[in-house]
Amino acid sequence: MNIILLGPPGAGKGTQARHLEEKYGLVQLSTGDMLRASIKRAEPLGLEAKKIMDKGELVPDDLIVRMIESRIGRPDCEKGFILDGFPRTVIQAEALDKMLADKNQKLDMVVELKVNEDLLVERVSGRFTCSRCGEGYHDKFCATQVPGICDKCGGGEFTRRADDNAETMKARLGAYNSQTAPILPYYESKGILKSVDGMLSMPEVFHELEKVLGVAPSCGCSCGCSCE
Ligand code: ADP
Ligand code: ADP
Ligand code: ZN
């Protein structure tokens, strides 16, 4: 199954993609994570992208498309992937269609995570990540059980993103509304767009995702929903 998680910064794409990866073995492809890894390695691509990311603007399409094309061609993606943060423009969406058609593959579903703007700012402002295993946390909504220690790997170092501040967030939301939101009608016209309420709790959002993807367990779920 090949899917896209679409939504503004802080909507919960990375959080849900990691859960889908763990539970269903799909590969999470996050262009933001790829760019940040490239910055860490001080590659020319990363250094070029960093200036743009710090302003909250979008990195040029051709650069992103080349990056995702080489990643999607790797064998681990054959079992299915979740795109998180790509595509972000109609040009990227068209390039993705072409890339997949060339490989005789297709997109199964695009899921939009809907969250109000006020909450998005709060979400990104409190976001932090374990430096060792990459687990995502939030100061208020999803803190570590023991302060300063990662629940998952026991690591004690965490990172906060340079662009996760209220000012850059304004530019990122502007970029989402003007350049990324126009992708929604593109996928709607193909009949593969679904929407999930991203304001729910993390397990509830996950369960809603499982439902729209048609993989929800038929009973025994623990999220308090009324599904049978
Ligand atoms: P995105 O990848 O869309 O930018 P993230 O998955 O990184 O968003 O989530 C942003 C922040 O909000 C993180 O700190 C995460 O822990 C938190 N978060 C994600 N989903 C929820 C949720 N359903 N309820 C509360 N907090 C959430
Ligand atoms: P978020 O999780 O908050 O949605 P990402 O980690 O996906 O943010 O992206 C961080 C930044 O990386 C973006 O603001 C943008 O500058 C750049 N970026 C990531 N993916 C893309 C893309 N598909 N096209 C253009 N720029 C991108
Ligand atoms: Zn960890």
Q: What's the pLDDT score for residue 216? A: 80
Nearest ligand 1 atom to alpha carbon 198: 23
Q: Which residues are catalytic?
A: 13, 88, 127, 161, 172
Cβ < 6 A, ligand 2 pocket: 9-10, 14, 31-32, 35, 52-53, 56-59, 64, 85-86, 88, 92, 172
Q: 3-class secondary structure for the chain? A: CCEEEECCCCCCHHHHHHHHHHHHCCEEEEHHHHHHHHHHCCCHHHHHHHHHHHHCCCCCHHHHHHHHHHHHCCHHHHHCEEEECCCCCHHHHHHHHHHHHHCCCCCCEEEEEECCHHHHHHHHHCEEEECCCCCEEECCCECCCECCECCCCCCCCEECCCCCCHHHHHHHHHHHHHHHCCHHHHHHCCCCEEEEECCCCHHHHHHHHHHHHCCCCCCCCCCCCCCC
CA of 85 to the centre of ligand 2 (A): 6
CA of 16 to the centre of ligand 1 (A): 8
The tens place of each residue's pLDDT in the chain, 228 residues long, gives 999 999 999 999 999 999 999 999 999 999 999 999 999 999 999 999 999 999 999 999 999 999 999 999 999 999 899 999 999 999 999 999 999 999 999 999 999 999 999 999 999 999 999 999 999 999 999 999 999 999 999 999 999 999 999 999 999 999 999 999 999 999 999 999 999 999 999 999 999 999 999 998 765 555 555 454
Among 13, 69, 88, residue to substitute to test ligand 2 (most atoms within 8 Å of Cβ): 88
pTM: 0.94
Q: What's the pLDDT score for residue 228? A: 42
Q: What's the pLDDT score for residue 139? A: 97
Pick from 130, 125, 128, 126: nearest CA to 157: 130
Lookup: tokens for 154: 């026991």
Nearest ligand, CA of residue 66? 2
How buried is residue 113: exposed, middle or buried, by Cβ count under 10 Å (0-12/13-18/19+)? buried
